[in-house]
Structure 1
């Protein structure tokens, strides 16, 4: 399996950064590779793509299955965001990629904080890593994994199986999927600031799978009501007739997958 870089370059179109591509057959991790490239002087806009990862990672250190046939892509950015707003990079990337795929007739939703959902199953995920100096995010890597033709677990889905049940396949190559993913990241990235995120949130909430879902937090029943401008999950808890809204950080609650 080969990856045509020239085809990718022609498909991406205009983006706000000059992109520098690094294509690999196999890597431990595209995020790890982009960090190494930046340590060697690579600029924002550096992109690493691997046809296969041997040590792919998801959120919270979980292993991300990265066998041949999926898209594994990482992009270097220099956000200059307050460190407290780091969750916005993941939130905006998820929204941007989901919106880009939906523009190609793929009805993708978002499972907070970082999963792309298709037909109730996981199509892909986003891992954002940052470096902070003096309270500011000076460097970031947005890593994306999307299932294309690769085998997936029971809770997953790949685009090949989706297209088998559609009258028309609107994305025809891994290169096209990579181009759409990059466009999506940049579309979301323009909103990744405390001033811009309020503009994005209503559109983000329309794609949120967990809105209205019943949850249990510390033994109390509640319902997901949205996402805060800082990226936390908003949950309304009930105790008798009283209600209280709390905000949960990523990693403090598991929302699971619908079947």
Structure 2
């Protein structure tokens, strides 16, 4: 399945007229994120987009391998956020919300799983990997990598968008180029909230899509319930019981990776 760059740009232009994207499409890359970092080293500007029809060494969270066979969407976007270093997870939170919202506007009921997964019908549709470069406590460069299942093989916990849409009477996304355009539109619309106070404005909408709200879990032997996401992308958990560490009904914030929340099915 070949992605047509000119077709993508024609679809994208009316969606994000204010954004200046420079799109590069490759048949195969080890990693679109790594290609984006190489481009930054060579002077690439914000808005540079790297797309591969497949990845041979795709990366997921915490160094995990991301299977990237032909048929999926694999892209990375170069950004210059100039955010404080402790706000890095806002990039993932905001872009995930933006992509989920853009897909939802086209009849795909995508939800969000903490902290970087796009969920459709309880299964993983895609994920986001954000990498950053810091200087003087500021994030000066960021690469937001997005992988979305389209027509590629998926594991038991995954779902392909093309298969889902084939069961819908009126599909607003009919090709990989449209999916790429919608993904870029969502990425930029979410990224606009990565500013002082912006995430606070976004969080109520994020929580409406958040599938982990109300989920029970155990933290350091204490039972609790998920009550939301903080403005730094942390998982907010209200604990039930008292121990020497926590008072009754106290709330703690867990950084990404601190707990695994699992999948349906």
Structure 2 length-normalised TM: 0.95
Q: Distance in 2 between matches of 1:20 and 1:33?
A: 14
The residue aligned with 1:23 is 25
Aligned mate of 2:230, from 228, 238, 243: 228
Tell me by how many angstroms 1:197 deviates.
Answer: 0.8
The residue aligned with 1:254 is 260
Matches for 1:233-248 after TM superposition, within 5 Å: 233-239=235-241, 242-248=248-254
Detail structure 1 runs of 4+ shifted over 2 Å in the superposition.
13-17
SS at match of 1:33: helix
Q: Distance in 2 between matches of 1:52 and 1:71?
A: 8
**Structure (1 or 2) with the greater strand fraction:** 1
Aligned mate of 1:151, from 136, 153, 163: 153
Matches for 1:100-249 after TM superposition, within 5 Å: 100-239=102-241, 242-249=248-255
Tell me by how many angstroms 1:169 deviates.
Answer: 2.2
Tell me, yes or no, if the aligned pair for 1:79 and 1:137 is still in contact at 8 Å.
Answer: yes
The residue aligned with 1:82 is 84
Tell me, yes or no, if the aligned pair for 2:107 and 2:171 is still in contact at 8 Å.
Answer: no
Aligned residues: 259
Q: CA RMSD in A?
A: 1.1
The residue aligned with 2:3 is 3
Q: Distance in 2 between matches of 1:16 and 1:136?
A: 25
Tell me by how many angstroms 1:102 deviates.
Answer: 0.2
Tell me by how many angstroms 1:17 deviates.
Answer: 3.5
Q: Distance in 2 between matches of 1:11 and 1:245?
A: 45
Tell me by how many angstroms 1:107 deviates.
Answer: 0.2
Q: Distance in 1 between matches of 2:234 and 2:12?
A: 31
Aligned mate of 1:61, from 53, 60, 63: 63
Structure 1 length-normalised TM: 0.98
Tell me by how many angstroms 1:253 deviates.
Answer: 0.5
Give unpaired runs (5+ residues) of structure 1: none
Matches for 1:32-43 after TM superposition, within 5 Å: 32-43=34-45
1:103-156 alpha-carbon deviations (Å, 9 max, x no partner): 000000000110000000000000000000001000000000000000000000
Tell me by how many angstroms 1:160 deviates.
Answer: 1.8
Q: Distance in 2 between matches of 1:3 and 1:195?
A: 37
Tell me by how many angstroms 1:15 deviates.
Answer: 4.6
1:3-53 alpha-carbon deviations (Å, 9 max, x no partner): 211111111123543211111000000000000011011111110000000
Give unpaired runs (5+ residues) of structure 2: none
Q: Which moved more, 1:116-125 or 1:15-24?
A: 15-24
Tell me by how many angstroms 1:234 deviates.
Answer: 0.1
Q: Distance in 2 between matches of 1:88 and 1:194?
A: 11
